[in-house]
Chains A and B, each alone.
Chain A
Amino acid sequence: MTATAEVSTGSRGNQPPVPDGAITVTVKVRRFNPEFDDEPRWDSFEIPALPSDRVLNLLHYVKWYLDGTLTFRRSCAHGICGSDAMRINGVNRLACKVLLKDLLASGGKPTTITIEPIKGLPVHKDLLVDMEPFFEAFKAVKPYLITYGNEPTRERVQSIADRERFDDTTKCILCAACTTSCPVYWTEGSYFGPAAIVNAHRFIFDSRDEGAEERLDILNDVDGVWRCRTTFNCTDACPRGIQVTKAIQEVKRALLFKRT
């Protein structure tokens, strides 16, 4: 699947036969090739697709049969790995979880789907962004078990209720859809962002963990939870349905009532 910049057709040769019931949709992709472009540009493709196709299928169609230079990330293609977060029609979604039938224009009008890279992270090429600043914020909140004293002989026991307390935030797949939907993060990249706070929440409220104080200190600072303006973009963007804004509010509440 490697493609060089000179190739203008797809990487898999001829287009496959159009299946019955296919509709032609226009896919507008925001593209940027650092070797040729000074500025990002829009490219449009006409693609025959079934309503049951996912947006990722449309991107595959472009890459395989129309333009092999289109660059994007995807691994599992089933909403587990979190590689293919992108801005679809202006909102952050996983391309592998959005069905075409949910994007079709009403009344049989022609459908145009816009696809952009997630915002706030440096674009390497087309839909591929540099995830390092995102992972740096994730690492900064110490997203691992911190304990002091002797290790227990067998295991660290936890009640069902204690496990339930942070269950929602264990679902995070680090796709960056929430963080790059946050207006505060767009303008100020040093804000930890929703994903980092969600992963801090996962350990702060874990009864087995003893590092809550350190993490709360980190999130109490200028770039921490107090920057959140509760716009709920993150909750809307999360492909795992995590109540992100609620998790941030719970960290604020912990800071307000447990520490002061």
Chain B
Amino acid sequence: MSELTLAKPRAPRRPAARRSNSELYSWLFMRISGVALVVLVLGHLFIMNILDGGVHRINFGFVAGRWASPFWQMWDLAMLWLAQIHGGNGLRTVINDYARKDATRFWLKVLLYVSMVLIIALGSYVIFTFDPNITD
């Protein structure tokens, strides 16, 4: 077969409905975090790339100056968490759609969740423990 071949749909033997709203909440989260990220990311890009000479003024001192303010700490923290969870949830639905074997699906999700937790933890750690007076 020359073109895209799709396997037969799996025999859909569905379990009984779980009465859980998790899919609803994840759908709703995507909409809300998406709108929030438009503001957060565009604001971030504007400050970093356009305002006052843009990217050329960014150095250690600039970052230290911004993170001295709790407002920018919270901005960056919100951006980190929302982007990670928004992107992770999106990838989760992609894995749900395209993984054909239960084992593949499971391990891809493990990889996804581990990477999400690692990046969120590392990023949050840096934001809160950043030391502007670091030497050598």
Contact B9 A121 (CB under 8 A): yes
Alpha-carbon gap, A188 to B24, bound state (A): 19
Alpha-carbon gap, A39 to B1, bound state (A): 6
- Residue A98 at the B interface, CB < 8 A? no
Q: How many residues of B contact A (CB 8 A)?
A: 22
Residues of A within 8 A of B134 (CB): none
Contact B12 A220 (CB under 8 A): no
- Residue A34 at the B interface, CB < 8 A? no
From known contacts A133-B12, A136-B12, infer whether A226 and B97 are also in contact, taking CB-CB under 8 Å.
no
Residues of A within 8 A of B98 (CB): 187-188
Contact A122 B17 (CB under 8 A): no
Residues of B within 8 A of A259 (CB): 21
Alpha-carbon gap, A203 to B121, bound state (A): 47
Q: Chain A residues in contact with chain B, CB under 8 A?
A: 39-40, 119-122, 133, 136-137, 140, 184-190, 214, 217-218, 220-224, 226-227, 252, 255-256, 259-260
- Closest CB in chain B relative to A259 CB, distance in Å: 8
Residues of B within 8 A of A214 (CB): 17
- Closest CB in chain A relative to B85 CB, distance in Å: 16
Contact A40 B1 (CB under 8 A): yes
Determine which of A122, A137, A186, A220 lies in contact with B23 in the assembled complex, contact meaning CB atoms within 8 Å: A220
Alpha-carbon gap, A189 to B10, bound state (A): 6
